[in-house]
């Protein structure tokens, strides 16, 4: 997968050089490129924003740098990339969407700032991209970069070879409609707090059953919405 990120703060994406994502890039599992939007400005101040038509507070990102950036990236191959614009007004980003996007050939992330990107850019981009506005949640950030960090990690970790042990991806929260079970490690008695006896039994069948029950109870307590949906598709749960 090739993944491009366009931002006026490319250094914001430097955490993507670290840990498993950074290793995946170095191992050639992920072709991730970060671009400075100001590359596609032509004035001496490298201007990317201007005042909003219709008045109002703040500034709006100008269409021209974005159109040139998107044209440049689209021209790199014959694919039709998916353009993802993080924003509070978007469709909720979920594990299911992360899985869907992990199957794409190319993703391009556009990090908006200020009051947002001129709306005509979305229309213009649709000529060469499948455009999706995606939100991490119902809150407002100062820009798209933090959301891109989260989305890229959620997507890239699903790519073959990125997570050393693919088993780690099974029974994770949101993978199958339930939250994950509680985990424990040594020592068995820590500050008088003990590991559930079942986990020390070596009885893998009973341990699996206990873990599934924990998932049901945890999902019911913390995410009744998820639990209700799970019960609809698993009436015997």
Ligand X SMILES: NC(=S)c1ccno1
Is 141 one of the annotated binding-site residues? yes
Binding site for ligand X (CB under 6 A): 86-88, 135-137, 139-141, 144, 147
Q: Please state, in angstroms and rounded to a whole number, the distance separating the CA atoms of residues 178 and 234.
A: 11
Is 205 one of the annotated binding-site residues? no
Is 133 one of the annotated binding-site residues? no
What is the nearest approach in angstroms of ligand X to the Cβ of residue 12? 12
What is the nearest approach in angstroms of ligand X to the Cβ of residue 85? 9
Is 137 one of the annotated binding-site residues? yes
- DSSP state at residue 80: -
Q: Please state, in angstroms and rounded to a whole number, the distance separating the CA atoms of residues 33 and 14.
A: 11
Decide: 109 and 140 in contact? Cβ < 8 Å: no
Question: CA quadruple 147, 149, 154, 156: dihedral positive or negative?
Answer: positive
**Residue 50: how many CB atoms within 10 A of its CB?**
13
Q: Which is nearer to ligand X, 81 or 144 (CB)?
A: 144
Is 192 one of the annotated binding-site residues? no
Q: Which is nearer to ligand X, 65 or 86 (CB)?
A: 86
What is the nearest approach in angstroms of ligand X to the Cβ of residue 72? 24
What is the nearest approach in angstroms of ligand X to the Cβ of residue 84? 10
Q: Please state, in angstroms and rounded to a whole number, the distance separating the CA atoms of residues 195 and 177.
A: 26
Q: What angle do CA 130, 132, 133 make, to 5 degrees?
A: 155
Q: What angle do CA 224, 229, 233 make, to 5 degrees?
A: 140
Binding residues for S-adenosyl-L-methionine: 112, 136-141
Binding residues: 112, 136-141
């Amino acid at each position: 997968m090739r993944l491009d990120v366009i931002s006026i703060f490319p250094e914001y994406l430097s955490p993507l050089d670290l840990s498993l994502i950074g290793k995946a890039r170095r191992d050639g599992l992920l072709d991730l490129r970060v671009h400075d939007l100001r590359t596609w400005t032509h004035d001496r101040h490298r201007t990317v924003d201007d005042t909003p038509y219709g008045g109002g507070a703040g500034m709006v990102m100008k269409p021209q740098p974005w159109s040139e950036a998107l044209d440049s990236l689209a021209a790199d191959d014959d694919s039709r990339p998916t353009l993802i614009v993080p924003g509070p007004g978007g469709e909720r980003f979920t594990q299911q969407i992360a899985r869907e996007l992990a199957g794409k050939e190319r993703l391009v992330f556009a990090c908006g700032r200020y009051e947002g990107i001129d709306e005509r850019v979305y229309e213009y981009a649709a000529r060469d991209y499948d455009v999706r506005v995606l939100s991490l949640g119902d809150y407002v950030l100062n820009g798209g970069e933090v959301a891109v960090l989260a989305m890229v990690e959620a997507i890239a970790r699903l790519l073959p070879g990125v997570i050393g042990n693919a088993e780690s991806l099974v029974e994770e929260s949101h993978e199958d409609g339930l939250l994950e079970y509680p985990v424990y490690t040594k020592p068995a008695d820590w500050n008088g707090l003990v590991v559930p006896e079942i986990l020390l039994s070596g009885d893998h069948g009973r341990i699996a059953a206990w873990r599934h029950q924990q998932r049901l109870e945890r999902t019911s307590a913390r995410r009744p919405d998820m639990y209700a949906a799970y019960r609809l598709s698993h009436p015997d749960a």
